[in-house]
Chains A and B, each alone.
Chain A
């Protein structure tokens, strides 16, 4: 069966510090991978998605970046965090050629102070 891992679960970082969140998927090959951010009580905002190694599509201009160095690894990064980067970050994967059924990781709750 497929599983998706995210770490860390919670993170408190000062403004201006760097960020690296990692997501890995097990039990499937060539997944479509996604990074979302969710503000408290709000919907999910798609940040990046990837359909293959080294292929990254950015949805929202911001100080975040994503990379996919391996087939089942997706990394979200920032060089300098802003207060507005606080939120719940979720990684997800889908299979095949459609993204309608996505499976989410447990998420990382980021607080920028």
Chain B
């Protein structure tokens, strides 16, 4: 199985700050990769797909990048509504696997 490692379990940052969340795949997964945001009691929401493409309706302050098997989600100017848990997903091969999540809070 492909392991998706989000090394940061939690992150606290100030409003307007630049935030980067990372996810490492245990093997090459190409661009079969996505980022999701989940708020308490809600279903996950797609933010970034294909590693770098912004999902419909998602603010442009979110961006994704890929360097080999390392993936990053960048929030350029942190807003209050960006709090939540961020998960990565590999959809390259079954079983599809998620990272363990990074909880983002405002300082």
A, B bound: no
* Interface set of A (CB-CB < 8 Å, partner B): none
* Interface set of B (CB-CB < 8 Å, partner A): none
